[in-house]
C-alpha cells in the first residue's frame, strides 16, 4: 500500500523579497513608490520653505476675494464684483464649451475627410489630401489667427444690415447675422410647458437608442432588417413636433434685431470663440482623417469583397462591415487627438477668448500673486479633464469591441 508524504509548508524568509521571483516585482514597486513619495514630500517641503523665505504662504483663500475684472463671454452670471473662484468657473466652462464643440466638429470633419480620401474619384480624394496636408503641417496658432482675421476683416459691419435687403449682407434666412463683431443667432425662449417638451425630446432620443439596439439584435438573430432610419426620424422629429403643437408652442425664438450700431437680442457668438473652435476643429480633423483612413485600410480587402458578394451596397458595407472593425484601430489614437484639442484650447489668449488659462492662469495670478496655487489648480483641471475624456472613450472602445461567438 502506497503512502503519501506531505511536505511541510515552506516558511517565508525575508531574502525571498529579493531573490524569489514571486515577491521581487512587488518589492520593486513598493520601493519605487516609497522613493517617489519621499521625493514629492521633499519638493513640497522645499517649496513651503522657499515661500516662507519670500514672505508668502500656501493658501487658496484668494479664490473668495473680489476679482475686479470683466469677462467678455460667459455661460453663467458674472460681474467684476464676483470672486476669483467664480471667474475661474466661468473660464472652465468656456474651455469645456470649446472642447466639446471642437471635438464634435473635428470628428465630423475627420470622418468625412478620411472616408472621402479613399474615394475612387480622383478629384475628391486629392482635395481631401490637400486639406489634410495643409492643416496638419501648419501650426495651430497660425490657423487660429487666420480664421480670426477672416472673421474680423472680411465680414461686414452691423451697419451693413441696414436696408431693404439684409440678405445681401450675409444674413441667413433673415435670422442669422454674420458680422465682424461675431455671429448673432436666435435664442430659445422657454415658456410654460417647455419642460414637458424637453422631456419628450429626451424620451425620443432614448427611444431611438433602444429601437436601434432592438433592430440590431433582431437582425443578428433572424436576418430581418427594420426601417431604422425612418423610425428614428419619426421619433426625433415628428413626435416632438406633435407635442410642440399640442402644448401651444411653448418654446419660441428671440431673433437678433439691429438697434443703433449693433444687434440686440439672440445669442452672440464672438469672433474669438468661432475662430478658436473652428480652427481647432479643422486642425484636429486633419489628424482624425488620417486615423480614419488608417483604420479603414487596416481591414482586409477580402471583407469588402465578401460583403459585395452578398449583395451589400458600398454604403452599407462601410457602415456594417468596415467601420465596426476599423473602430478598434481608430479610437485609441482618437483619444490623443481629443486630448490635444482640449489642451490646445489654451491658445485662446491669442484671440482674446477668456478661457481658464486666461482667467485663473492669467489675470487672477497677476492680481493675487498666487502663481503656485493658480498653476496647481490649472494643471489639476487639465489633468481631471484629460482623464475623464480618456476614461469615457476607453469605456466606449470596450463597448464597441467585436465579441467572438
Which pTM does this prediction carry? Answer: 0.82
Asked if 340 contacts 135 with a C-beta cutoff of 8 angstroms, the reply is no
Q: Once rounded to an integer, what is the mean pLDDT over residues 27-35?
A: 88
Q: Which long-range contacts (CB under 8 A, 24 or more apart) does 361-366 make?
A: 363/67, 363/69, 363/87, 364/62, 364/67, 364/84, 364/87, 364/88
pLDDT at residue 4 in the model: 56
Q: In this predicted structure, what is the pLDDT of residue 59?
A: 80
CB 359 within 8 A of CB 88: yes
- Tell me the average pLDDT of the chain: 84
Q: What is the pLDDT, as a whole number, of residue 170? A: 43
Q: Average pLDDT in the 297-302 region?
A: 84
pLDDT above 70 for 339:
yes
What is residue 22's predicted lDDT score, i.e. its pLDDT? 73
Residue of 298, 179, 289, 201 whose CA lies nearest to 251: 201
**Under DSSP, is residue 189 helix (H, G, I), strand (E, B) or coil?**
strand
Torsion 275-278-282-287 (CA) sign: positive
What number is the average pLDDT over the span 130-142?
A: 92
The better pLDDT of the pair 397, 138 is held by 138
Q: How far is CA 54 from CA 51, 361, 368, 370, in A?
A: 5, 21, 15, 12
pLDDT score of 252 more than 90: no
Q: Locate the domains of the chain by residue range.
A: 84-160+269-399
pLDDT (average), residues 34-63: 85
Residue with grid cell 429601437, as numbered in its chain: 211
* Least confident interval from 43-57, 91-105, 368-382, 384-398: 43-57
Partners of 182 in the beta sheet?
Answer: 179
Closest CA to 94 of 335, 286, 290, 351: 351
Higher pLDDT, 106 or 5: 106
Best CATH choice for the domain 84-160+269-399 from the list 1.20.120.160, 3.30.70.2740, 1.10.10.10, 1.10.3720.10: 1.10.3720.10
290 touches 114 (CB < 8 A):
yes
Which pLDDT value is given to residue 102?
94
pLDDT digits (tens, 9 = 90+) for 383-401: 999 999 999 988 888 877 7
Amino acid at each position: 500500500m502506497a503512502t503519501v508524504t506531505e511536505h511541510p509548508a515552506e516558511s517565508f524568509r525575508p531574502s525571498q523579497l529579493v531573490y524569489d521571483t514571486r515577491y521581487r516585482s512587488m518589492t520593486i514597486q513598493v520601493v519605487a513608490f516609497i522613493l517617489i513619495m519621499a521625493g514629492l514630500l521633499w519638493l513640497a517641503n522645499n517649496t513651503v520653505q522657499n515661500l516662507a523665505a519670500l514672505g508668502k504662504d500656501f493658501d487658496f483663500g484668494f479664490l473668495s476675494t473680489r476679482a475686479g475684472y470683466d469677462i467678455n463671454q460667459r455661460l453663467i452670471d458674472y460681474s467684476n464684483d464676483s470672486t476669483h473662484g467664480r471667474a475661474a468657473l466661468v473660464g472652465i466652462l468656456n474651455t469645456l464649451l470649446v472642447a466639446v464643440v471642437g471635438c464634435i466638429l473635428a470628428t465630423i470633419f475627420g470622418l468625412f475627410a478620411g472616408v472621402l480620401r479613399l474615394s475612387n474619384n480622383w478629384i475628391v480624394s486629392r482635395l481631401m489630401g490637400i486639406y489634410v496636408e495643409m492643416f496638419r503641417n501648419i501650426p495651430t496658432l497660425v490657423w487660429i489667427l487666420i480664421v480670426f482675421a477672416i472673421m474680423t476683416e472680411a465680414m461686414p459691419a452691423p451697419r451693413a444690415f441696414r436696408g431693404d435687403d439684409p440678405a445681401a449682407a450675409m444674413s441667413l434666412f433673415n435670422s442669422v447675422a454674420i458680422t465682424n463683431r461675431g455671429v448673432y443667432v436666435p435664442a430659445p425662449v422657454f415658456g410654460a410647458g417647455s419642460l414637458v417638451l424637453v422631456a419628450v425630446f429626451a424620451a425620443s432620443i432614448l427611444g431611438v437608442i433602444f429601437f436601434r439596439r432592438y433592430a440590431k439584435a433582431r437582425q443578428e438573430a433572424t436576418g430581418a432588417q427594420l426601417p431604422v432610419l425612418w423610425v428614428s426620424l419619426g421619433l426625433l422629429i415628428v413626435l416632438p413636433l406633435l407635442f410642440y403643437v399640442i402644448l401651444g408652442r411653448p418654446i419660441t425664438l428671440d431673433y437678433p434685431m439691429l438697434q443703433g450700431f449693433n444687434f440686440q437680442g439672440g445669442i452672440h457668438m464672438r469672433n474669438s470663440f468661432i475662430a478658436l473652435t473652428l480652427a481647432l476643429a479643422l486642425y484636429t480633423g486633419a489628424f482624425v482623417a488620417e486615423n480614419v483612413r488608417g483604420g479603414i485600410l487596416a481591414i482586409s480587402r477580402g471583407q469588402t469583397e465578401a460583403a459585395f458578394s452578398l449583395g451589400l451596397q458600398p454604403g452599407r458595407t462601410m457602415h456594417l462591415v468596415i467601420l465596426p472593425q476599423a473602430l478598434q484601430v481608430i479610437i485609441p489614437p482618437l483619444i490623443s487627438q481629443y486630448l490635444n484639442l482640449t489642451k490646445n484650447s489654451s491658445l485662446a489668449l491669442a484671440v482674446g477668448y477668456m478661457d481658464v488659462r486666461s482667467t485663473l492662469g492669467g489675470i487672477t495670478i497677476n492680481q493675487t500673486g498666487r502663481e503656485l496655487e493658480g498653476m496647481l489648480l490649472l494643471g489639476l483641471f487639465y489633468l481631471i479633464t484629460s482623464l475623464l475624456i480618456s476614461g469615457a472613450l476607453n469605456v466606449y472602445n470596450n463597448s464597441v469591441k467585436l465579441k467572438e461567438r
